[in-house]
Structures are given as structure tokens and as C-alpha cells.
Amino acid sequence: MISLVRIDDRLIHGQVAVVWTKHLGVNRILVANDQIVNNEVQKMSLRMAAPDTAKCAIMAVKDASDVLNDPRSESMKIMVIVNNATDARRLIEQVPGIKTLNVANSGRITDNLAAKKRISDTVYVTPEDVADFNAIASRGVKVEYQVLPSHPVKNLIEMLDNAAS
């Protein structure tokens, strides 16, 4: 049912709309975000960016978790996208079926990038992000860094630990 849960600042964009959806063969994209659900312009933009091959839904995190926990979702191939570690943690706490979190393009869209720690070219974190990622990993969820399916998978928790040293 859940083909991928991904943190991506930009939510739906070329990498997601073209590369990931094709690679995974998903027929649904679910954006889980409490702020965007109330912004009609952003919702319209995201729906326009979604490929024709996948229906797009934009929901609050709690509503998204209800959909993902609904047995009717088991017949769908769903890619879930959030744009921050806190929403990912909240979703994972509410949906026990999530086993892996893919992280890429995270933390770069901000007014205060200098206050964040650079983990890779595409991931910047705050201490709160690190705490969220560790809380996710403590639930037995693999936290992986992979920008594109053709790139090697790296353990993000190890990357965080190495950056802290």
C-alpha cells in the first residue's frame, strides 16, 4: 500500500512527479501537511505538478494517517510526501505500517539556513529535526537518504551521527 514516505521541501516537483512515481508505479500521491491544506493556491499548484498517472490528495497529517490506516487503502500504491521531520514523525507515530522514511531535499527552503547543520548537499537540520529523526528510528523505522532511485541508499542516522562528531 505505502510505496514510499518521503520528506521533500518542495513536495511535488520533477523528481517526485516524474522519477519517483514512475520508479514506484504509484497511483496515488498523498501530501500530508497541516498548513498547505488551508492554502488553495498551493494546493492547486501541487495538483498541477502531479503526473496524470497518479491521483493527488492534500490533507492534514491526522487525516492522512486516517486514510493510510483505512483497510481500503491497501489496494492502492501510495507515495506519501511531507516537507519536514516533525510531520514525518507525527505520521509515523500514527501509522504503524510505515517501515522506511526516505529523506531528500530537506531543510533548505528557509530564511535561516545558516542556523542549520549541513548533512549533505540536500539535507540541512536543526536540533529539533535530529530529535525527530532519532525518535522515528527508535520506532524501528529505517531513515534513509536517497535523492533519486538511481542513487545509493545511505543511512541518515549514521550521517547525522558523523556530522555531530
Q: Which amino acid is at 109?
A: I
Which three cell numbers mark 63? 487525516
13 counts as catalytic = yes
117-118 and 124-125 strand pairing? antiparallel
Q: Which residues pair with 7 in a beta bridge?
A: 82, 103
28-32 and 55-59 strand pairing? parallel
Q: Which amino acid is at 19?
A: V
CA atoms within 13 A on the CB side of 70: 11
Alpha-carbon span 139 to 156, nearest angstrom: 15
- Catalytic option among 13, 23, 108, 142: 13
Residues classed as catalytic: 13
